[in-house]
Amino acid sequence: MSDLTEVKTYLVTGGAGFIGYFLSRALLEKGMRVIGLDNLNDYYEVSLKEDRLAILKEYPGYHFIKADLADKSAVFSAFENYKPSIVVNLAAQAGVRYSIDNPDAYISSNIVGFFHILEACRHYPVEHLVFASSSSVYGGNKKVPFSTEDKVDRPVSLYAATKKSNELMAYSYSKLYQIPLTGLRFFTVYGPMGRPDMAYFKFAKKIMAGEPIQIYNHGDMLRDFTYIDDIIKGIEDVLERPPAADENGVLYKIYNIGNNKPEKLMDYIAVLEKHLGREAKKEYLPMQPGDVYETYADVQDLMDDFGFKPSTSIEEGLSRFAEWFRDYYKK
């Protein structure tokens, strides 16, 4: 980059995570400076997080901090030492079902940790704070597609409740301290180097091991599967344009970010089987606690404001995932 004044410093929390890795790499490819922060917890295989980090560390503009968002001094130290212009908070304890068995982890990471990020942005002002919310906030809403105008005060999991809490906390901090804040409600992101706790990844492992896959609600579910490249393009566009003030003068905006096209779960599984070259043994089960029948994103706001237009079909996306999966696990 010829003009060094254009190089910005981005702090990406959850930097060793799936979305954090792809976003960091995209920013580094543009010549930006990226500070990754992650606690490398063992919620899923740490080796995959370390492999993502190994790739990122090859870029001269990358620096990694191993720290937990619940450690306020570590968070403040990162802001003090690196003075990020833009912060992307992707760190969170993920997973709807895990929140039923391990609620403490969600309060520590998603509530306390996010509070520390907000406090740091208050004391070390930034151009823009973008944070991850989730389609889970829509809970058992029956109206589809899900719109950011819908009421979301009936979460069906603690995970969803923490994400709605993040949105409320963010709005109050934006109002009080004029922090430009954008929340993104992600819809079922998938792709190579993804999260092993996600259904498609678990399916792939079991299919290749010849084990039966568990299919909930007897396969009658729809998901707004969104390929990672489409998600990253959307995030990058949002990062560079902080929200305008709303009717109350608050620099705050929430967007859905999804494919805007729900797929039948059984169709998705069929495409995955095709690209892995094996048919799955199937075990059909009732709906799980905390799960929802359908997710479907209304992304009109993101289309209007940024020209967002996901373009990756599940055929193309799962083909890329399957190719990576077989190479990575030597299947």
Alpha-carbon torsion 306, 311, 313, 318, what sign? negative
Decide: 68 and 78 in contact? Cβ < 8 Å. no
User: Tokens standing for 111?
Assistant: 């509530």
Q: Which amino acid appears at position 5 of this protein?
A: T
The DSSP output letter for 277 is T
Q: Per-residue DSSP letters for 148-205?
A: TTS-----SSHHHHHHHHHHHHHHHHHHHH---EEEEEE--EE-TT--TTSHHHHHHH
* Annotated catalytic residue within 159, 173, 252, 255: 159
What are the distances in angstroms from CA 275 to CA 51, 117, 271, 279?
A: 24, 41, 6, 10
171 is catalytic: no
Decide: 112 and 302 in contact? Cβ < 8 Å. no
Active site residues: 159
